[in-house]
Chain A
Amino acid sequence: MTQLVSAVHIDIVDAAFAKVVLAAPVAVRRDGKLYKDLSGPVVAAATEIWERIRELLNHAARKGWDVAQQMLDDVNIHITALAEELKEHAHEFRALLLERLQDLMRETFDLVLRSVRSRIQIGEATYILGSVQLESKLVYTSSIEASVTALCKFVGQGETVVKGTYTLMNSPATS
């Protein structure tokens, strides 16, 4: 088993955000109509908090978990305030946000794992990654605040330990 340290840097955060689409717009027919074609209140609120979460995770990636903790509280307060502002749509907002946060966690996780090299060349020998094991935990939860905190902590640590098993091509497993 090889112990690898994978950096959770800002590019991974940006790439994960780029993969998650908050909500697809609905196409409307505009011909001959003055259409009010705009985002729904839930999407608008989610977009606003999404930008805050992006800032938070960027901050965590740059400055580390300890520094980001202060900002985390503000983000959580903002989420609560938005839910209040949304009134009848609060539940829908929380559901959407939680779903997207889980998408973001999945993407982040995948990107970290993908950053581990799948094939290593040492001299004439080629080793292929057979299995990986992530040491850090990224807990999926039904709480938005806990999800944000978990993500922030994961990113804020700056690195994560990945254990991998490399196999020499056409030979029994080596560790």
Chain B
Amino acid sequence: MDELIHFYLQSTEALLRAAGIPAPIAEALTAEVGNGRPEPAAIALEKAAKAGLLSEAIAAALSMLLTRLSRVTGNVSNDSVPLDDLADAVAVMLSAAELSMQIGTRPMAYNFYEVAYHFGAIFDRPALDVAQKLRELSNPEKVDQFHSAIWRLAIEHVRDCCERRTDWLSCLDAVELALVCPVENPALQADLFSRLLQQVGKAQDTPISELALIVAVQSPRSGWDAGKRSAAMRMVAASRLGPTVDRLSPDQLEIISTAEAQIMFDDMRQLLTPTHVPSPYVTWHELMLGHQRLAGAVPLGRSLIAKSTRTELLLLDLAHEIGHAFVLQGPIGIRQAAYRAAIHYLELLILNIARERDESVELSEVPVTSVLPASAAARAAARLQVAVAFRAAIEQSVWTPWLEGVSMYVELLCDPKEDPTEISALHQCIRSLIDFNIPRNEEESDDAYSQRFADTSAAEFEEFFSNALRSRSRLNHLRYFDDAQGQRRTVSDLYCLGYLIVRSVVSAWEVTLGTRLAPAIAVKLLLNATRAGTFGTGIDVLPIDSDCTLECRIRFLAWVQSLAALPRDTLADFFTAVGRDDKGVVWIWKDGLPQRVTPASVDEATIFYEGQFDSFQRSAAHLAGLNTTCDDGSPNTHVTFLTSLFEQYVAWRRLLPIGRDMSRLLFLDAPGRVGLCTRTYIGETTKEPTSQTEPYADDPRYNHRYWTLDGGVKEAERLRRACGRVGSARLLTTRIVDFGGHPDAPFERANTSYVCSFLKSEYSRVVPWAMDDDISDTHPEFSSLLESRMFPPLRFLNEDDTIGSLSFLKDRLSNAVANDPIALIANSVDFETLALDVAMEASATAFAQGSTSQFRESYEQAMRTTAGRLAVARWMFGTGFGKPVVQEPSLSGQRLPRMIFNAQAFSGITPFGASV
């Protein structure tokens, strides 16, 4: 108690000095207060106020505080302190802390809060409020102060949530942060740990009841009795391994028990985390992939192929969505980046107007405004934004049926085993989401191992994928064709028509070639054409007032017709199998035809692509209303800036993050040894059987990765402190597919993935597929790009809800300008209906020589009833896999329309443009 009194009196003296009282007087007054005589202080403070040393209000407040402190000192100096006096002492310390904040001395405020905490601890006062203040005010430079504040907050969080039976997640987060931020002073650490253990012991029969055991296992070494810690470890390890736990070495015991405790922790956390389960998607602009099974999980290790009943559907969903992202690497997607760059640039102009030329405010710190500034220039920019966003939305709608059709073809039919000589680029991306365990043989050369790794991993991947595809394809066909008893008719029709068009294009190729094409072969041309052969199909360069919708439809239709009509020689050349040991062919599309890029034509191809890229940049400038040069002929710096924006968007689009998890960083006893526990799948928490040698190999809910930090113990300490500063013991972990093969990436090859973990800007770890080494230091440019993909600068955040949303831009303009023509035009289009119309139009071209009404009648005949839709789905499934057609297509006893479904065609669908 004496120490506490001494401490708060010292702090009082410092507070008086901070308030403006000269040091000798402050010292004397504090001594008087300590002796139970506050009167001299009151007189001195009044004088000081009159002398202008401090305000009268502060003087009065200090005077009152000193009176209370004097009383408290008298009370708590007694041998036995009544509870009421202790409670009074807490109240006075809290007042002192608040007054310290008012005077502006945070360290003294911290001190008084700390004293309040200690007085409260004597009578077990709940102190979440005080602990939160301590955490807020503690000094990161004083490690013990900073970390003990973290511990106190954890202790109080547990107490609070067990009492109130709520806020469990905050409690778990606080506890795990404490576990990675030990206090250096062993006595203090032991005290804090025992208090935490006491609180978590009270959590029985709550959703966090396992916390006591977890805390015991992950306790700081200095914080607890080594024997008890070891016993807790054995208990947890035994829950997984059974009696064989006795055979574990101390290191094995530590790793297994720490990991198992973390699994218990994360399972608990998972059950408490509110989940929003969206359907799988890929966004057009940012190219972000979402999936309910990966909302808080990352495919790592063998998680995607470890258990067929759990991940087959996920794998096929990923094939569909990565298929989208893969083709959007081409002009269709790059145009979207150009649109976004133009809109972003225009937004910066608007923000510049909104901040009223106050250049002290950084533009990047100004939030997007939902109200336009009252300025003609701002309205003009907003009008341009709507025009650009409108084009983006039109292109999205027009291309959606085709893109969905291609992705359905990939998901429903493309069995990689059907391609005997090579793995497609898309399947390569998906394979790189799986970490294969293929040990190197003794004396095996790099080349031999590399070849064996490629062959073995491809075979294992293909086997699993093939089984998944074949066993799920029939029902997946039904899922697309089911329109929920008419409630989702438009969406279902969009998919079905897109798929029909794609199938009829393949059918046309088959007729041209005179043979059936395995879907895994045909898809290579579908993907290549959609990704690389769509230059010139956009509406980015059209004048603002042109009929963009019509022009976009015309261009799409012409493109798909030309694709279906590729000549025999071209098709034969494209489909010529690549030898197992040969390098894959690169194709360039010119005049609507794919041409091989040979060593002799590499330069020409490069010039072609650079030219195309330049044209996107020019169109972005044109859309933003900029001239590329100024009146004096010098380059327009605005265009230079816009170009950098565009390049930034394109660079990010080349990187596709798949899944994200806040993964717990685990610190082990071995010097510098750390680990990461990442969840790999959302939706199942059942434990799997295990073995002693690889206890987690068969349990793919979590993936554990361990490594030794380069800086050893020091680096581990730095990382612990960084966790404290950041306020989290978790690293954002994701797996990023590099579609482009970035020049600074460790591998030239594209379509490979990197497992990335970031502790904000404090620490990053980037590990390439099939490797164990961190490349963040050796490939800094690439690593920093990966990091910026996950943590984009502030001004790029939440664009989906602001400048990435046509509705937002339209509404903002309409609120500023009534009946603006551009907003009216944008309002006049229903984009889902547009997509359906395009799908009908293209299908009519494919099946009814352009007569939409004739096609629609035939289509309706087949699809108007649920029975009809199911019959068509079964037909598409059966013929898609090339099963022999034993009877004419029938629909409840009636024939399916011959216009579309043709039993004589190689794959059961009338070839594009060959309707009867």
Q: Mark B392-431, 1 if CB is under 8 A from A, else 0.
A: 0000100010011001000000000000000000000000
Q: How far is the CB of B241 from chain A (nearest CB, A)?
A: 27
Q: Mark A101-113, 1 if CB is under 8 A from B, else 0.
A: 0000000000000
Is there an interface contact between A87 and B309, defined as CB atoms closer than 8 Å? yes
Which single member of A21, A30, A47 contacts B832 (CB below 8 Å)?
Answer: A30
Interface residue tally of chain B, by bracket? 35 or more
Q: Which of B144-152, B359-367, B800-808 contacts A (4 or more CB under 8 A)?
A: B800-808
Assuming the contacts A24-B487, A33-B283, A37-B491, asked whether A85 and B471 have C-beta atoms less than 8 A apart, the reply is yes
For chain A residues 86-144, which have a beta carbon within 8 Å of chain B?
86-88
B320 located at the interface, meaning its Cβ lies under 8 Å from any Cβ of chain A in the complex: yes
B8 located at the interface, meaning its Cβ lies under 8 Å from any Cβ of chain A in the complex: no
Q: Mark B106-137, 1 if CB is under 8 A from A, else 0.
A: 00000000000000000000000000000000
How far is B487's CA from A28's CA once the two chains are assembled, in angstroms? Answer: 13
For chain B residues 280-295, which have a beta carbon within 8 Å of chain A?
280-285
How many A-B pairs have beta carbons closer than 8 Å: the answer is 100
Most B Cβ at <10 Å: residue of A22, A38, A40, A55: A38
Contacts of B804 in A (CB 8 A): 32
Is there an interface contact between B484 and A25, defined as CB atoms closer than 8 Å? yes
Contacts of B309 in A (CB 8 A): 87-88
B587 located at the interface, meaning its Cβ lies under 8 Å from any Cβ of chain A in the complex: no
Which single member of B321, B474, B476, B482 contacts A43 (CB below 8 Å)?
Answer: B482
Contacts of B283 in A (CB 8 A): 32-34
B556 located at the interface, meaning its Cβ lies under 8 Å from any Cβ of chain A in the complex: no
Q: How far is the CB of A156 from chain B (nearest CB, A)?
A: 21
Q: How far is the CB of B259 from chain A (nearest CB, A)?
A: 26
How far is B283's CA from A73's CA once the two chains are assembled, in angstroms? Answer: 47
Contacts of B403 in A (CB 8 A): 34
Is there an interface contact between A39 and B284, defined as CB atoms closer than 8 Å? no
B480 located at the interface, meaning its Cβ lies under 8 Å from any Cβ of chain A in the complex: yes
For chain B residues 683-706, which have a beta carbon within 8 Å of chain A?
none
How far is B476's CA from A19's CA once the two chains are assembled, in angstroms? Answer: 26
Closest chain A residue to B336 by CB distance? A32
Q: How far is the CB of B351 from chain A (nearest CB, A)?
A: 22
Q: Mark B748-762, 1 if CB is under 8 A from A, else 0.
A: 000000000000000
Interface of B is mostly: helix
Assuming the contacts A25-B488, A31-B807, A32-B805, asked whether A38 and B284 have C-beta atoms less than 8 A apart, the reply is no
Most A Cβ at <10 Å: residue of B283, B320, B403: B283
Is there an interface contact between B475 and A47, defined as CB atoms closer than 8 Å? no
How far is B312's CA from A123's CA once the two chains are assembled, in angstroms? Answer: 71
Is there an interface contact between B870 and A38, defined as CB atoms closer than 8 Å? no
Q: Mark A34-56, 1 if CB is under 8 A from B, else 0.
A: 11111111011101101100010
Interface residue tally of chain A, by bracket? 20 to 34
A146 located at the interface, meaning its Cβ lies under 8 Å from any Cβ of chain B in the complex: no
A23 located at the interface, meaning its Cβ lies under 8 Å from any Cβ of chain B in the complex: yes
Q: Mark B419-458, 1 if CB is under 8 A from A, else 0.
A: 0000000000000000000000000000000000000000
How far is B870's CA from A38's CA once the two chains are assembled, in angstroms? Answer: 14
Which single member of A26, A44, A88 contacts B482 (CB below 8 Å)?
Answer: A44
Contacts of B310 in A (CB 8 A): 88
Contacts of B476 in A (CB 8 A): 41, 44
Besides A34-B284, A43-B479, 15 other CB < 8 A contacts?
A21-B485, A28-B279, A32-B283, A32-B800, A33-B284, A34-B321, A34-B404, A36-B317, A38-B480, A39-B488, A43-B482, A44-B479, A47-B478, A47-B485, A48-B870
B residues touching A (Cβ–Cβ < 8 Å)?
278-285, 308-310, 312-313, 317, 320-321, 324, 396, 400, 403-404, 407, 471-472, 474-476, 478-480, 482, 484-485, 487-488, 491-492, 495, 800, 804-807, 832, 866-867, 870
